Amino acid sequence: MEIRAVVGHITEQETPAIALGLFEGTEIPLAGTAGELDAALNGELGSVIADGDFKGKINETLVLYTHDWLPAKRLILVGLGKPEEVTLNVIREASATTAQKARSLGLSTLHTVVFGEDVEGISRELSTSAAAEAVAEGALLGLYRFTELKTQDENHRADPEQLVIVISGENDLAAMQEALNRGQIVAESTMLARDLVNRPANVATPSHLAKVAQEIATETGTVCKILEKPALKELGMHLFLSVNQGGNEPARMIVLEHNAGVPDLPTVVLVGKGITFDTGGISLKPSRGMEAMKGDMGGAAAVLGALRAVALLNLPLHVVGLAPVTDNMPDAQATKPGDVVKSLNGLTVEIINTDAEGRLILADALTYAGEFQPDAVFDVATLTGGRIVALGDHAAAVMGDQGLIDRLVAAGEATKERVWPMPLFKEYGKQIESDVADLKNVGGRAASSITAAYFLSKFVPDGIKWAHIDIAGLGIRDKSDPYVPKGATGFGVRLFVEALRRWDA
C-alpha cells in the first residue's frame, strides 16, 4: 500500500471513503474536521453520535454513506476511546481497524486526517509527526497477511492501494511525508520478520535467512558477512556447531552491520537466536504443537528486521546484527545428552538436554559480539517455556544490565512490545554447576528463564553491558489484535528500533 500526504481539504476529496477518528464523549456541536464533515452532511454525523449509534469506543466502526453531500462516497468512523487515554498505540489500532474495514469493503483508496489531530490537548501529549507515523504503521501492520504459500485465496479481498493523509498547510507537507515514510519503514521491517517466522522450516532454512540478510544489505547499504561452517570451526564456536551436528543444513553466522567503519559512533550489537526448527534433538520434543518450532528463529528475524529499519532510518549509531542460524535435529551424528563441548570463550559445557540449544548458539555469538567492542549488547531469543508460564502474552522477560533494561522497558511501553525484568542473583548460578565440566546447559524446572539467562551471562565478555530478552511464546500468536493479526508477530523489531531511536535521549 502506498501512503502519501497531500495538501487540501478533507471535505473536498473525491474518494471511496474518508476515515474519521472520533473520541468517546465528543461534544455536539462537533468541532474541527468532524464539525466540517458534519456541516457538509447536514448534521448527520452529529445525529449518529447524539442518538448513541456511534459512541467512539476504541476500535468501534460505523460506515455512513454521504449521498452526494460530499465528493467522498463514504465516511468510515472509528472510535479512539477517551481523549485523556489516547496513546500512539490507540492510534495504531484505530488505523489498523480502519484499513481492515476499507479492505473488507473492497475500497482501493482511503483518505484521512491524522487521527486525534485537532483535538485540544492531544498535541501536547503526542506530536503530529509521531501520530502520523502511528497511522502509517498501524494501517500496514493491520493489513498484514501471510499468503505466499496459498494458491487459492478467494475469500479475501485485495488490500487498499493507497492511504492518503490530507493536511491543510503546504509548509508541513515534507515533514508529514517523512513521518509517514518512517512509519512505513518500521512496519515493513516488522513484516519482514513476520514473513520469516511464518515461513515453514523447509522454506526458511539457514541458507534462506542468510540470503534475506544479503538482500537487506543490498537494499539498505548495510554490510553483510556470512560466516560459513569452516570459519565457525576455525574460530572455535563449538557450542554453536554442536547444535548443528544432527542436521543436514550447514550452520551459518549472519553478520549485518549498519555504519560499519564509521568512527565515533556508539556501537550496539543485537544477537538473535536463529533455530530454524527446534525438534529438541536427541532430547526430542513431544509431537503435539511441534510445528510452532518453525518460529524458533524469531529472535534472528527480529534482529534482521531491526537492522533493516535502523539502516533505512539512518540512525546515528553503529549497529551490528548477529544471528547464529541452524536447525536442531536428532541423528546418529547429533550431540548426545552428557556430551561435553568447549565454547568460543573456553568454558566447557555439559549438554544435559539437547533441547536447551538456544543458549548454546547464543553463548558463542555473545562471545563473538566482543569483537565489535560494543557499548551495549542485546540478545533476543525464543529461549524458555518458563517465560510463557511466568509472564504469558503481555510481556517479554528481560535480564541483565539495569540501564539497558530501563531503556527496553521505556521502548516497550511506547511500542506495546513490553518487557519485564527478572533477577539474575548469583545464587541462581548453583543450578547450572556441572560435576564434569565448567557448566551444564540446564538448571532444572525452577526459574528456568533465569538459569538460562544466567548461563548466557557467563559468555558475555568482561566489562560489556548486556541485556537478554526472552520472547518464547510471543513470536507466534493464535489471537488477533488490530495491528497484530494472528500468526507471526514480528515481536522485537519495533522494540529494538524504538530503543535505538532513543539512544541519546
Residues 265-284 that bind Zn ion (CB under 5 A): 275, 278
Question: Which of 133, 357 has the CB closer to ligand BES?
Answer: 357
| Nearest-angstrom CA–CA distance, 54 and 77 | 8
Question: Which of 89, 448 has the CB closer to ligand BES?
Answer: 448
Q: Which amino acid is residue 255, in one-letter code?
A: V
Question: Which of 64, 452 has the CB closer to ligand BES?
Answer: 452
Residue 457 CB, nearest approach to Zn ion (Å):
19
Pairing state between β 74-79 and 17-22: parallel
Binding map of Zn ion across residues 286-315, x = CB under 5 A, - = no contact: ----------x-------------------
H/E stretch holding 180 reads helix 173-198
Pairing state between β 267-272 and 318-328: parallel
| 379 SS3 class | strand
Q: Which residues contact 229 (CB under 8 A, 6 or more apart)?
A: 241, 244, 250, 251, 252
Q: How far is CA 51 from CA 45, 58, 75, 77, in A?
A: 10, 18, 17, 15
Question: Which of 49, 351 has the CB closer to ligand BES?
Answer: 351
DSSP H helices, 370-447, are 385-391, 402-415
Q: Which three cell numbers stand for residue 162?
A: 493507497
Q: Which three cell numbers stand for residue 388?
A: 510463557
Question: Which of 280, 305 has the CB closer to ligand BES?
Answer: 280
Question: Which of 387, 494 has the CB closer to ligand BES?
Answer: 387
Question: Which of 140, 360 has the CB closer to ligand BES?
Answer: 360
Contact yes or no for 400/467 (Cβ under 8 A): yes
Residue 275 CB, nearest approach to ligand BES (Å):
6
Q: Check residue 485 for interaction with Zn ion (CB under 5 A).
A: no
Residue 314 CB, nearest approach to Zn ion (Å):
34
Contact yes or no for 466/401 (Cβ under 8 A): yes
Residue 249 CB, nearest approach to ligand BES (Å):
17
Q: Check residue 379 for interaction with Zn ion (CB under 5 A).
A: no
Annotated catalytic residue, options 359, 418, 458, 494: 359
Q: Torsion angle, CA of 58/472/297/322, rounded to 10 degrees?
A: 100
Residues of this chain that interact with ligand BES (CB under 6 A) are 278, 296, 353, 355-358, 382-386, 442, 448, 472-473
Pairing state between β 466-470 and 376-381: parallel
**Angle between helix 206-220 and 173-198 (nearest 10):** 170
Residue 384 binds which entry of Zn ion, ligand BES, none, with Cβ cut-offs from 5 to 8 Å by kind?
Answer: ligand BES
Residue 130 CB, nearest approach to ligand BES (Å):
32
Residue 388 CB, nearest approach to ligand BES (Å):
6
Contact yes or no for 273/364 (Cβ under 8 A): no
Residue 485 binds which entry of Zn ion, ligand BES, none, with Cβ cut-offs from 5 to 8 Å by kind?
Answer: none
Residue 41 CB, nearest approach to ligand BES (Å):
50
| Nearest-angstrom CA–CA distance, 224 and 239 | 23
Of residues 56, 299, 358, 492, which one binds Zn ion by CB under 5 A? Answer: 358
Q: Check residue 327 for interaction with Zn ion (CB under 5 A).
A: no
| Residue 220 CB-density burial (10 A; 0-12 exposed, 13-18 middle, 19+ buried) | buried
Of residues 355, 379, 417, 498, which one binds Zn ion by CB under 5 A? Answer: 355
Q: Tally DSSP H helices, then E strands, for the chain.
A: 15, 20
Annotated catalytic residue, options 82, 145, 285, 416: 285
| Nearest-angstrom CA–CA distance, 250 and 319 | 26
Q: Check residue 470 for interaction with Zn ion (CB under 5 A).
A: no
Residue 385 binds which entry of Zn ion, ligand BES, none, with Cβ cut-offs from 5 to 8 Å by kind?
Answer: ligand BES
Q: Would residue 157 show up in a list of annotated catalytic residues for this protein? A: no
Q: Check residue 195 for interaction with Zn ion (CB under 5 A).
A: no
Residue 384 CB, nearest approach to ligand BES (Å):
4
Residue 481's closest CA among 496, 491, 471?
Answer: 491
Q: Check residue 133 for interaction with Zn ion (CB under 5 A).
A: no
| Nearest-angstrom CA–CA distance, 475 and 225 | 26
Residue 401 binds which entry of ligand BES, Zn ion, none, with Cβ cut-offs from 5 to 8 Å by kind?
Answer: none
Q: Check residue 492 for interaction with Zn ion (CB under 5 A).
A: no
Pairing state between β 419-421 and 274-278: unpaired
Residue 254 binds which entry of ligand BES, Zn ion, none, with Cβ cut-offs from 5 to 8 Å by kind?
Answer: none
Q: Would residue 342 show up in a list of annotated catalytic residues for this protein? A: no
Q: Which three cell numbers stand for residue 456?
A: 548466557
Residue 353 binds which entry of ligand BES, Zn ion, none, with Cβ cut-offs from 5 to 8 Å by kind?
Answer: ligand BES
Residues of the shown chain interacting with Zn ion in the complex, contacts defined by CB under 5 A: 275, 278, 296, 355, 357-358
Name the residues annotated as catalytic: 285, 359
